[in-house]
């Protein structure tokens, strides 16, 4: 498995967020970027630690395969599409392909699969003031 991450945009969210105990906290950040997956075998997923997207923890992440309909055939029952899901408990994302019949299987990447992301959490550049 191999990947490279390019951060396209980072936006600091002033006044937003709370820490683990519920107290208001500064330093929340939204990061937008692209993950280029050049080798992916499937079942074990691909690790995506918070530091790789410029955060110390991930509060929210949305992933999307850039070319979801690549290889789609069309038809009345729908087209196969490529998707991605993220498991917060393991910190891995999983690429899959769904067939016309709705069956999902792991996606084997031969070239480069591009995954877009939007993540929010505590900035890795955050300065904590006591």
Per-residue model confidence as pLDDT tens digits over 34-80: 999 988 777 788 899 999 999 988 989 999 998 776 654 444 445 67
Domain that holds residue 16: 2-123
In a domain, 130, yes or no: no
Residue 108: its pLDDT value, please?
67
Rounded CA separation 113/105 (Å): 16
In a domain, 119, yes or no: yes
In a domain, 128, yes or no: no
Percent of the chain with pLDDT over 90: 35
pTM of the predicted protein model: 0.78
Report the domain count for the chain. 1
Flag the least confident range among 54-58, 77-81, 110-114, 118-122.
77-81
């Amino acid at each position: 498995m191999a990947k490279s991450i390019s951060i396209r945009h980072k936006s600091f969210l002033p006044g937003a967020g709370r820490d683990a105990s519920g107290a208001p906290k500064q330093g929340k950040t939204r990061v937008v970027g692209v993950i280029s997956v050049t080798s992916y075998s499937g079942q074990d997923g691909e690790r995506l630690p918070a530091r790789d997207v410029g955060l110390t923890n991930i509060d929210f992440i949305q992933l999307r395969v850039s070319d979801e309909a690549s290889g789609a055939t069309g038809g009345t029952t729908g087209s196969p599409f490529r998707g991605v899901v993220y498991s917060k408990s393991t910190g891995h994302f999983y690429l899959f392909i769904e067939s016309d019949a709705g069956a999902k299987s792991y996606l084997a990447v031969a070239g480069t699969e591009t995954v877009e992301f939007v993540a929010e959490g505590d900035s890795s550049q955050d300065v904590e003031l006591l």
